[in-house]
Amino acid sequence: MAATDRIVAAGAVVTREGLNGTEYLLVHRDYREDWTFPKGKVESGEHVNGAAVREVREETGFAIELGMPLPTQTYKIEERLKDSHYWSARLLSGTFLPNDEVDEIAWLTFEEAAKRLTYEHDVDVLRAAAVAVKTTPMIVLRHTQAMKRADWAADDENLNEPDAFRPLTSVGRIQATMLVSALAAYGISELYSSGSVRCRDTLGPYASSRSLSITLEPSLSEEEHVKFPDNARARAGELAGIQNAFVLCTHRPVLPTVMEVLANKFEVDTEAKKAFDPALTPGSMVVYHRDSSDLSKIVSVERHIH
């Protein structure tokens, strides 16, 4: 989500349960003399959701897990437009120490936080966070950039190798590494992948970073999908019922089938079916936030185009 003509920032409204109910984390920046939410600029090539987690950690020392996206705030600063992207977030662990950016933090109730916040647009974000529900993410991911079929077939060494062995390019490997922070932001704990090398290797860096195994899904490979599309539909429907936060990595030709199954399973209306558009570029993903109290309901959708 990099931009050349505007500043892009990311942050989170972090919550915890206190004696008087939900408490919201605010930070005080001495150099600006304001109270706001932890946030900062997205670095070049960084996923915006990964940036939100990083900024919270750098400013407060807290590890978090993102939930639903909150309204993006756009305003002018230094004669440039700034887009600040926010998520609701759950506190996991950590200890605050004053630093160069934040000299003080406060855990406040909704009423206290609304009074303490310096900027009115932050109050709008707080209101949205107050009604956000707890969610469990389901991510559909297209594998990162792979070697072109023609180049793979033209190499004599690959004459007897099936297309499923076609590897990622150097760009694809970089994209796969960049996905680590994006998937970690949502606490993804289960990994499902087509058996093809390019899909497995897309999830490989994240799997290694979290010591997770990758469950291979033969029916969701390109080859099996062509021969037995009904098997692919059936398996996609089963995966949609997984209780935990998970990601499915598959191929462009398989995505229309997967998205059709999901759209039907979650019984969305015609307008909402746009959320199941299968058009994804290599390394792009759609995050479906399911209501944790009723996993049959999708309450928010994020589309991250790489």
**pLDDT value at position 270?**
54
Structure token digits, residue 251: 């191929």
**pLDDT value at position 29?**
95
- Range in 4-13, 38-47, 196-205 the model is least confident about: 4-13
Give ∠ CA 176-181-182 in degrees, rounded to 5. Answer: 80
Q: Mean pLDDT, to the nearest integer, of 94-107?
A: 97
Buried b (16+ CB within 10 A) or exposed e, 134-168: ebbbbbbbbbbbbbeeeebeeeeeeeeeebbebeb
Q: To the nearest whole percent, how much of the chain has pLDDT over 90?
A: 85
Q: Mean pLDDT, to the nearest integer, of 255-282?
A: 86
Q: Do residues 41 and 125 make contact, with C-beta atoms less than 8 angstroms apart?
A: no
- d(CA 252, CA 146) in angstroms, rounded, equals 12
Instruction: List, in order of start, the domains of the chain with CATH numbers.
Output: 6-130 (3.90.79.10), 135-304 (3.40.50.1240)
Whole-number average pLDDT of the chain = 93
17 vs 4, more confident: 17
**pLDDT value at position 79?**
81
**pLDDT value at position 4?**
56
pLDDT single digits (tens) 188-244:
999 999 999 999 999 999 999 999 999 999 999 999 999 999 999 999 999 999 999
| Residue appearing with tokens 């070697």 | 147
